[in-house]
Structure 1
Amino acid sequence: MFDKVLVANRGEIAVRVMRACEELGVDTVAVYSEADKHGGHVRYADEAYNVGPARAADSYLDHEAVIEAAEKAGADAIHPGYGFLAENAEFAGKVEAHDEITWVGPAADAMEQLGEKTKARKTMREADVPIVPGTTDPAESAEEVKAFGEEYGYPIAIKAEGGGGGRGMKIVEGPEEAEDQLESAKREGEAYFDNANVYLERYLENPGTSRCRSSPTSTATSATSASVTARSSAATRR
């Protein structure tokens, strides 16, 4: 059991992790940007550290700043929540290499294969696993989006390569929306994941998802969750 956990996230995501820690008798540490210094997760934590300016890429995604905050606080573990650094293999590797801090999450090498969605699609394709029609390389232009639509039809989902939790995911209903939605997805990917690369998939209306995840971790040979079925998170038009 850990004595103190730094939660490398903000808002409701961070508070949920902190509540679980509280139930286990574990102290919590928050990190915050200048814009979030009065945030609920900051007030809820036992202690909190500023990790940079308002822009997420310069604060919540700053590897060194987050690890330094954990060192200052004397935290013995970092929990990423979801989004932000949760699927960042480079950050996970840095924490795993730290002598006194434990990474609470999948092992970095597993994340390297599956954390970036284009790599995950390539891995599935090489393993002959059926996947939704889409690209395995980043989409660069609106013309690529339109060409994809001509081949597979609309709507199209444009997704952030490093995304998660529905962030950086946009729906294109027709060719006239391609340019605006592509740029919007890139901006959101850059803002939330410090990665502006996006890829394309045929958008499925109201799908269900069946999941059975098996990932090696730093504390066990493997961890496999039970299969569950749920509605997929929807893409946004913002």
Structure 2
Amino acid sequence: MKQSFLWLAVGAFFLGSVTVCRAEEAASGRWEGSVRIPARELKLVVDLAQDSRGSWSGSIIIPELNLKGALLTEIAVQDSSASFAIKTARGLQAAFKGSLNADGTLAGSFVEAGNTAPFVLKKTGPPQVETPPQSTPISKELEGEWKGEYEMYGYPRYVTVKLVNRDAEGAAAEFVIVGRKTNNLSVDLVTQEGDLLTIDSHEIGISYEGRFEKATHEIKGTFIQGAIELPLVLRRAQ
């Protein structure tokens, strides 16, 4: 009798393991479909992949929002459920919560700012997860401390940006905004392409894009916070 119970326990363990593996295999792949929001339909391309250690990674493409290869976070797959989230520098924060269905679809709810809309995805092939962009080195002309200011809601905001190179890790930035209070932004991406400088804080949902003008030694660009875009000129700190 004891031996029978032992075999039942072992069988249950392996059955549970197989179920988990099947769920993970079912979730891994490239998924294409759409989400229906009021007055429009957004096309979606979602890539989900699991590495040998069991960790998940993913990216998403939403052409109508000019979003390509945005990093997915909070990816979770359990039994027949799959969920993931997205947070971009332009302020989009949303979650996808769905079920892996017998017909090969991943369907559920898209939740953004308290609003919910249905989405349906169909697996179209193996995953093609886009790796997160990496910071690049910046020119010597851009290294150092820069200052500027802009106005939001009738109040001035004073900006200080310190740019440094970190050899193989690319550039890093300190981005401080002083208004009613002091905000030290968590910057996770600094890139330079030609004379175009981009600084992103994906955690806060803020970015800056500006072009360095050698003639005036200024970086003329745009401060972006969600849907808000404001002109911001940075000048070398004296």
Q: Same fold (TM over 0.5)?
A: no
Could you say which structure has the higher helix fraction?
1
TM-score by length of structure 1 reads 0.23
Larger Rg: 2
Could you say which structure has the higher strand fraction?
2
TM-score by length of structure 2 reads 0.23
